[in-house]
A and B are shown apart, each in its own frame.
Chain A
Amino acid sequence: MNVHATDPSALLGNLAEALATGAIEVVDLTHTLDQDFPVIVLPPEFGQCARFRMEEVSAYDHRGPAWKWHNFTCSEHTGTHFDAPSHWISGRDVPNGSVDEIPAERFIGPVCVIDCSEGAAADEDFELTPEVIEAWEAEHGRIPAESWVLMRTDWSKRRGAAYLNMREDGAHSPGPTPAAIRLLVDERGIRGFGTETVGTDAGQGSHYTPPYPAHFYLHGAGRYGLQCLNNLDRLPPTGAMLIATPLKIKNGTGSPLRVVALVPGRT
């Protein structure tokens, strides 16, 4: 395989060949859309995130003899999902702020994975700080502009009540500090930020200033969010390509989606 090909057709041909041979592997970063998968829980007087629900319309029976299909309902923010800038009040006026307006080339890009799994195992309120980011960069190089940054915590391995980890004082799960997000957005110019938890912010993120700093700064700057990601432990720290294409919902603030990454094969 000619890894130095510059002719676009040759590049795509090489990619196709690498996918076929397993030289490049596809990793699925998505949870199954499942009725029992947790969604974010807000105080009950607020509107809530709709759970994923499915109704059978027919199943090769009197309702439709040769076919099976379902109606499903959910929120734009149910399951593994994409947050567009218009999701947050800080991003309400950014250009191309809804999922249908985002140029398609923004859905594919390089990805850096910051492994916080040890910290999150020791501290359920583990914070991604500028120091953690700088320590990662000292090992793997500066985070390139226009890349996705994913915070790996292995939180996706949690099941049931341990996932939201709700207590009387709210949810407890890891996330970024305001300073960390500002570093990524303002100084590194990332395209988006993703997590394994139910939101891009920590479970206790409402207690930062500003509250929910990842949502506030990312979307205010026209950047994107990904949450409820899976299998981040199968990504290299750098060198993978993320493909995250939300549904083209008119004025949509987000969308459930299939997120995959292209990674160097193990062979």
Chain B
Amino acid sequence: MTDAILPPPKKDPQKRTRTQTLPSGLRSRAALGLTAAAAEGRFMLQVCGECGALQYPPRDACSTCLSTDLPWRDIDPAGELIAETTVRTSTNTYFRERTPWRVGTVRLDAGPSVMCHVHGDAPRGGRVRIINRLDKSGQGVLYALPPEGTPHMEDDPQLREITADPKFRRVLITDARSENAVALAEAFAKAGASIIFIGEPEGWRPYPHRAALEAIPNVQIVPLDVTDTASVTELAGEIGGKTDILVNNARFVRPGGIMDRGDTVFARDEMEVNYLGLMRLAQSFGPAMRGRGADGDNSAAAWVNILSVYAYSNMPAFGAFSASNAAAYSLSQCLRAEMRPGGVRVMNVYTGPTDDAWHQPLPPPKVAPAALARAIVSGLKDGLEDVFVGDVAKDLIERWRAGAKVLEREMSETDGGGA
């Protein structure tokens, strides 16, 4: 079993914050397929389209028949740990700072043997399951875990390097007024977050669930309006250095596209909140978080954006809202690139219509606040970069990957082509 981590001590103000070092540089383009799969926490390998041979490591041509038709497929993660060792020194600064580090070889039931990092509870010579996750440099890496859960297994130091577990971490959730705020705060409290800051815009007007928020353990309501640069800057000055996970929950949603609105007033609000709000938060909180990626058990770990899945393909009934989310999606990629040197993950959680007042006339299925909160917390625990929550979002991304132009045409039907 794993030693449970303890609540981190208060920081020694005389000690320099440890700089994030990174495990490795860029890999081949073929190997980035593993990274793309890891972003969603999927264990995928290439399978030859001609002869069906399973490929490992990733390559440009089939090891059996030289075909270049090598699509990535989800692979059975079960296998056996046939060799393992504990590295006690390394020429790589990242690993040298983190030894001992367990590595090994797993023979997959599906065929090939793979090199992987090994969880402390994975039995030598025993059954394991492989997960594919992003390491601190954002590369897909394989980890062997015990086949079943073990006590405190999430506290394994090697595993915690690739996850953004909220346990003992300090979380900032923006937009207390949003209907999601209570479910998010409850989920983070349950996941063991030590402080849950909730940013409250416009304290000068009431909202129904304020008392419910205050009743959640470890919640602190703080003034924050993502449309107000001064308020974002001020809060970042106060708590930026102890924000380990930031969940940007602020969204401005209105139905309508271009011609049925006839003005740019709501469109500007959508951009102010959904796009520039992200920009303001990132400019104020980003630098401090990026500087604290290796700051102990409560290091800065993740930045979470809640985005509409219609960032990928416009839903005309919410056309202007979709466009603002496309802008935010693009900006999140920039944020990811800028956060990467600090080892802070940017996790985008894509949702279809949510169960709130603005989507009230839409038919189900809709994503309830509790489902969204669950997806966010489990995504952080798994160390994911892209999470698609609910059937609508999962279906849409599949159709987008199959053919973005075909999907665009489907979306132009009034019902969003089944969305």
Residues in A lying within 8 Å of B, measured CB to CB:
35-36, 38, 41, 44, 47-48, 51, 53-56, 160-161, 163-164, 166-167
29 contacts between A and B (CB under 8 A): A35-B225, A35-B230, A36-B202, A36-B203, A36-B204, A36-B223, A38-B204, A38-B205, A44-B357, A47-B263, A47-B265, A47-B266, A48-B269, A51-B227, A51-B228, A53-B228, A53-B229, A54-B229, A54-B230, A55-B229, A56-B229, A160-B203, A160-B204, A161-B204, A163-B204, A164-B204, A166-B205, A166-B206, A167-B206
Task: Establish whether residues B205 and A41, one from each chain, have CB atoms under 8 Å apart when the complex forms.
Answer: yes
Q: What is the CB-to-nearest-CB distance from A7 to chain B, in angstroms, rounded to a whole number?
A: 51
Q: How far is the CA of A44 from the CA of B205 in the complex (A)?
A: 13
Residue numbers in B under 8 Å from A35 (CB-CB): 225, 228, 230-231
Residue of B nearest to A35 (CB): B228
Task: Establish whether residues B204 and A53, one from each chain, have CB atoms under 8 Å apart when the complex forms.
Answer: no
> How many inter-chain residue pairs (CB < 8 Å) link A and B?
37
Q: How far is the CA of A35 from the CA of B231 in the complex (A)?
A: 9
Q: What is the CB-to-nearest-CB distance from B260 to chain A, in angstroms, rounded to a whole number?
A: 13
Residue numbers in B under 8 Å from A54 (CB-CB): 229-230
Residue interface bits B194-221, CB-to-A below 8 A is 1, else 0: 0000000011111000000000000000
Q: Most chain-A Cβ atoms within 10 A of its Cβ — which of B203, B205, B263, B265? A: B205
Residues in B lying within 8 Å of A, measured CB to CB:
202-206, 223, 225, 227-231, 263, 265-266, 269, 357
Q: What is the CB-to-nearest-CB distance from B362 to chain A, in angstroms, rounded to a whole number?
A: 16
Q: What is the CB-to-nearest-CB distance from A40 to chain B, in angstroms, rounded to a whole number?
A: 11
Residue of B nearest to A163 (CB): B204
Task: Establish whether residues A161 and B206, one from each chain, have CB atoms under 8 Å apart when the complex forms.
Answer: yes
Residue numbers in B under 8 Å from A48 (CB-CB): 269
Task: Establish whether residues B228 and A161, one from each chain, have CB atoms under 8 Å apart when the complex forms.
Answer: no
Task: Establish whether residues B229 and A161, one from each chain, have CB atoms under 8 Å apart when the complex forms.
Answer: no
Q: What is the CB-to-nearest-CB distance from A215 to chain B, in angstroms, rounded to a whole number?
A: 21
Residue numbers in A under 8 Å from B231 (CB-CB): 35
Given contacts A47-B266, A164-B205, A166-B206, 8 further A-B contacts (CB under 8 A): A35-B225, A36-B202, A36-B223, A48-B269, A53-B227, A53-B229, A161-B204, A167-B206
Residue of A nearest to B266 (CB): A47
Q: How far is the CA of A36 from the CA of B269 in the complex (A)?
A: 17
Residue numbers in A under 8 Å from B230 (CB-CB): 35, 54
Q: How far is the CA of A24 from the CA of B269 in the complex (A)?
A: 45
Residue numbers in B under 8 Å from A161 (CB-CB): 203-206
Residue numbers in B under 8 Å from A38 (CB-CB): 204-205
Q: How far is the CA of A166 from the CA of B177 in the complex (A)?
A: 15
Q: How far is the CA of A167 from the CA of B203 in the complex (A)?
A: 14
Q: How far is the CA of A160 from the CA of B203 in the complex (A)?
A: 7
Residue of B nearest to A158 (CB): B204
Q: Most chain-B Cβ atoms within 10 A of its Cβ — which of A41, A51, A56? A: A51
Residue numbers in A under 8 Å from B266 (CB-CB): 47
Q: How far is the CA of A243 from the CA of B115 in the complex (A)?
A: 80
Q: How far is the CA of A163 from the CA of B225 in the complex (A)?
A: 19
Residue numbers in A under 8 Å from B228 (CB-CB): 35, 51, 53
Q: How far is the CA of A48 from the CA of B272 in the complex (A)?
A: 14
Q: How far is the CA of A164 from the CA of B205 in the complex (A)?
A: 7
Q: How far is the CA of A44 from the CA of B358 in the complex (A)?
A: 10
Q: How far is the CA of A160 from the CA of B200 in the complex (A)?
A: 13
Residue numbers in B under 8 Å from A167 (CB-CB): 206
Q: What is the CB-to-nearest-CB distance from A43 to chain B, in angstroms, rounded to a whole number?
A: 11
Q: How far is the CA of A53 from the CA of B202 in the complex (A)?
A: 13
Residue numbers in B under 8 Å from A160 (CB-CB): 203-204
Q: How far is the CA of A55 from the CA of B229 in the complex (A)?
A: 7
Q: What is the CB-to-nearest-CB distance from B235 to chain A, in angstroms, rounded to a whole number?
A: 13
Q: What is the CB-to-nearest-CB distance from A164 to chain B, in angstroms, rounded to a whole number?
A: 6
Q: How far is the CA of A92 from the CA of B111 in the complex (A)?
A: 79
Q: How far is the CA of A206 from the CA of B227 in the complex (A)?
A: 29
Q: How far is the CA of A98 from the CA of B227 in the complex (A)?
A: 30
Residue numbers in A under 8 Å from B263 (CB-CB): 47
Q: How far is the CA of A164 from the CA of B204 in the complex (A)?
A: 7
Residue of A nearest to B280 (CB): A55
Q: What is the CB-to-nearest-CB distance from B418 to chain A, in angstroms, rounded to a whole number?
A: 27
Q: What is the CB-to-nearest-CB distance from B230 to chain A, in angstroms, rounded to a whole number?
A: 6
Residue numbers in B under 8 Å from A53 (CB-CB): 227-229
Q: How far is the CA of A47 from the CA of B204 in the complex (A)?
A: 19
Residue of A nearest to B265 (CB): A47
Q: How far is the CA of A265 from the CA of B269 in the complex (A)?
A: 46
Residue numbers in A under 8 Å from B225 (CB-CB): 35
Q: What is the CB-to-nearest-CB distance from A233 to chain B, in angstroms, rounded to a whole number?
A: 22
Q: How far is the CA of A132 from the CA of B225 in the complex (A)?
A: 42
Residue numbers in B under 8 Å from A164 (CB-CB): 204-205
Q: What is the CB-to-nearest-CB distance from B342 to chain A, in angstroms, rounded to a whole number?
A: 23
Residue numbers in B under 8 Å from A41 (CB-CB): 205
Q: How far is the CA of A137 from the CA of B46 in the complex (A)?
A: 90
Q: How far is the CA of A160 from the CA of B228 in the complex (A)?
A: 17
